[in-house]
Amino acid sequence: MENTEIARIFHEIAELLEMKGEDHFRIRSYRNAAMVIEGLTESLKTLYEKGEAGLDGIPGVGKGIRAKIAEMLTTGRCAVHDGLLKELPAGLFDVLKVGGIGPKKVMLLYKELGITSVDALRRAAESHAIHALPGMGEKTEENIIRAVESLKKVSARFNLAVGLSYAEGIKAHLQKTPGVARVEAAGSLRRWKDSIGDLDMLCIAHKPEDAIAAFAAYPGVKDVLSKGGTKSTVVLKTGLQVDLRVLKEDAFGAAMQYFTGSKAHNVALRDMAKRKGLKINEYGVFKEPGDRWDAGKTEEDVYRSVGLPWIPPELRENRGEIEAAAEGRLPAPLELCDIRGDLHVHTRESDGNATLAELSEAAQARGYEYIAITDHSRAVGVAHGLDEKRAMAQIEAIDAFNERLKASGRHFRLLKGAEVDIRADGTLDHADEVLSRLDCVVGAVHSGFNMTREAMTGRIIKGMESGWINVLAHPTGRLIGVREPYKVDMEAVMGAAKRHGTALELNSYPERLDLNDVHCRMARERGILVAVSTDSHSTAHLGNITFGIHNARRGWLEKNDVLNTRGLKELLRILKKTRQAGR
């Protein structure tokens, strides 16, 4: 079983126990285990195979949980989970997703009315079968109908880029309101998580009611779900939900810290504060005894109060960042100015829309020293992939282009490259005569996503074993919210990458972000270079590098872990070495 599968089962156990009203401590241990596992950079299977000591080394996971991990790895099942699912139908998980319905209510509705699905819940609310139950009323029924509707619309998480554009729009809108001093986005968006559930906005305003009124009047708003003195929740026409809180300047740092999350990071930080006799919440840091207000104006103040340096939002997932901060070994965040070029760019020869000259100008305007032109090979027919003849012609064209660049005294170079398809049998879609003339070969899978895990892993490794591939592009093939990653043994792929000196791509397209954060960290730990590339199909796409940089930070990558932070000379040396080592 995969880590994600095991984590999911632990999440479900926690939810089932919660519905049953079981001991809070027990529930928390399952939930905690699930989160720890989601952040692991090694597979549980590998750890388990190292013997007892392997699983013992996982921080924050107790003996009982370890036994269940071992059980799942050996039998593929979890008796506790199975037992709970016999008692409670799985449909209750869906009911739990309806806003305003907590585990206790789910249980009550199930016991009294036999409700096990969202549709049944809606029917019960519409036929007024719910208001007579204890703690419910006619208002509850109205809320349920509304919540079911909004659940249908927002059940999918939102693309980070979509969230970002709305956050900017709302910010600009609110800033036009007199008395509004500052507006910031917090939550998963500020952490640059690869998808966002909802948008969390914070604002400092002289008259909170004016800010709240302006928020409700934002042109993108479809529905105002709640509107209070200092907070409000709306649903946008796209279905994205947005929370706004209006705050006093003194508490803004504390609120930013709290609402940036993640929840797991906050829980760990508060535990640490408690041990120091402090209390942290969204209003500030308070000293015991007497709860005297101590800090809260800036986030730096909040972290300083517990003896920590400020932690970049991208790292706030409770994956060891608090310990690292305490020990002064937080990674130095990758910066845009560290990036010296882009190693995955398409022109109009395949499915891009720009010419060599246009791309060269745009890249130079960004201050780059190089970009690799990596058009598709012929197997990717929909992308008008290049056959050998066209590839050879492009190689000549790039050589000629570089001659002209040199003659005009520019310190910039187009690298000859290709995004060569790794065919289903693991062979490459360009002949050696073409590959040997390229500076930078990007290899990728473009078809047959439904292969078994073994077959896909073998296919990719065979591609790398050819010795031609410098960078393995979008290594899991995921399209966020559209297509799941294909099944592949990432540990084995990384093993091969390490052996052959192949870099792994972090594709910066906001729909891809592939490698994901955890995989980036795995690569770093294994000493595998990551190429943060844009896979641009137009000059504007070069700007997507920002998404890649923030995702790289989420994966703890530093400048040195990234291939395209190297200057041209050093880059060419590395690219060449990979080929020589492989062949």
User: Is 239 among the residues that bind ligand DGT (CB under 6 A)?
Assistant: no
Smallest gap from residue 321 Cβ to Ca ion (A): 19
User: Is 196 among the residues that bind ligand DGT (CB under 6 A)?
Assistant: yes
Q: Are 518 and 525 in contact (CB under 8 A)?
A: no
Smallest gap from residue 479 Cβ to ligand DGT (A): 18
Annotate each residue in 244-273 with x if it binds ligand DGT (CB under 6 A) or - if it does not, as one string.
--------------xx-xxx--xx------
Residue 282 interacting entry, from ligand DGT, Ca ion, none, C-beta within 5 to 8 Å by type: none
Residue 317 interacting entry, from Ca ion, ligand DGT, none, C-beta within 5 to 8 Å by type: none
Smallest gap from residue 189 Cβ to Ca ion (A): 7
Rounded to whole angstroms, how far apart are CA atoms 9 and 52?
A: 21
Smallest gap from residue 280 Cβ to ligand DGT (A): 9
Residue 24 interacting entry, from ligand DGT, Ca ion, none, C-beta within 5 to 8 Å by type: none
Q: Are 144 and 130 in contact (CB under 8 A)?
A: yes
Nearer to Ca ion by Cβ, of 489 and 517: the residue is 517
Q: Which residue has the tokens 């208002």?
A: 139
Q: DSSP for 266-279?
A: HHHHHHHHHHTTEE
Q: Are 264 and 256 in contact (CB under 8 A)?
A: no
Rounded to whole angstroms, how far apart are CA atoms 160 and 28?
A: 29
Q: Are strands 221-227 and 231-236 parallel, antiparallel or unpaired?
A: antiparallel
Smallest gap from residue 309 Cβ to ligand DGT (A): 20
Residue 267 interacting entry, from Ca ion, ligand DGT, none, C-beta within 5 to 8 Å by type: ligand DGT
Residue 566 interacting entry, from ligand DGT, Ca ion, none, C-beta within 5 to 8 Å by type: none
Q: Are 212 and 227 in contact (CB under 8 A)?
A: yes
Q: Are 316 and 262 in contact (CB under 8 A)?
A: yes
Rounded to the nearest 10°, the torsion over CA 22, 27, 28, 31 is: -160
Residue 574 interacting entry, from ligand DGT, Ca ion, none, C-beta within 5 to 8 Å by type: none
Count CB-CB contacts under 10 A for residue 219. 8
Residue list 426-485, contact with ligand DGT (CB under 6 A): none
User: Is 198 among the residues that bind ligand DGT (CB under 6 A)?
Assistant: yes
Q: DSSP for 137-161?
A: -HHHHHHHHHHHHHHHHHSSPEEHH
Residue 262 interacting entry, from Ca ion, ligand DGT, none, C-beta within 5 to 8 Å by type: ligand DGT
Nearer to ligand DGT by Cβ, of 191 and 430: the residue is 191
Smallest gap from residue 157 Cβ to ligand DGT (A): 7
Nearer to ligand DGT by Cβ, of 505 and 517: the residue is 517
Closest residue to ligand DGT using C-beta atoms: 261
Smallest gap from residue 200 Cβ to ligand DGT (A): 5
Smallest gap from residue 193 Cβ to Ca ion (A): 9
Task: Show Cβ contacts of residue 182 under 8 Å, excluding neighbours closer than 6 positions.
Answer: 203, 204, 252
Segment holding 407, helix H or strand E: helix 388-407
Residue 261 interacting entry, from Ca ion, ligand DGT, none, C-beta within 5 to 8 Å by type: ligand DGT
Q: DSSP E strands: which ranges in 186-335?
A: 195-196, 199-205, 221-227, 231-236, 241-247, 278-281, 284-287, 292-295
Rounded to whole angstroms, how far apart are CA atoms 26 and 497?
A: 41
Residue 266 interacting entry, from ligand DGT, Ca ion, none, C-beta within 5 to 8 Å by type: ligand DGT
Residue 210 interacting entry, from Ca ion, ligand DGT, none, C-beta within 5 to 8 Å by type: none
Residue 331 interacting entry, from ligand DGT, Ca ion, none, C-beta within 5 to 8 Å by type: none
Q: Are 194 and 513 in contact (CB under 8 A)?
A: yes
Residue list 154-193, contact with ligand DGT (CB under 6 A): 187-188, 193
Smallest gap from residue 385 Cβ to Ca ion (A): 40
User: Is 197 among the residues that bind ligand DGT (CB under 6 A)?
Assistant: yes
Segment holding 12, helix H or strand E: helix 3-19
Residue 85 interacting entry, from Ca ion, ligand DGT, none, C-beta within 5 to 8 Å by type: none
Q: What are the C-alpha distances in Å from 484 to residues 424, 425, 536? A: 19, 22, 22
Burial class (CB in 10 A: 0-12, 13-18, 19+), 63: exposed
Nearer to ligand DGT by Cβ, of 144 and 240: the residue is 240
User: Is 392 among the residues that bind ligand DGT (CB under 6 A)?
Assistant: no
User: Is 103 among the residues that bind ligand DGT (CB under 6 A)?
Assistant: no
Nearer to ligand DGT by Cβ, of 164 and 196: the residue is 196
Q: Which residue has the tokens 């609110």?
A: 174
Nearer to ligand DGT by Cβ, of 199 and 356: the residue is 199
Task: Show Cβ contacts of residue 86 under 8 Å, excluding neighbours closer than 6 positions.
Answer: none
User: Is 317 among the residues that bind ligand DGT (CB under 6 A)?
Assistant: no
User: Is 99 among the residues that bind ligand DGT (CB under 6 A)?
Assistant: no
The residues binding Ca ion (CB under 5 A) are 187-188, 198, 200, 243
User: Is 341 among the residues that bind ligand DGT (CB under 6 A)?
Assistant: no
Q: What are the C-alpha distances in Å from 480 to residues 93, 513, 515, 522? A: 23, 8, 12, 20
Smallest gap from residue 436 Cβ to ligand DGT (A): 47
421 pairs with which residues across the strands? 444
Task: List residues binding ligand DGT (CB under 6 A).
Answer: 187-188, 193, 196-198, 200, 258-259, 261-263, 266-267
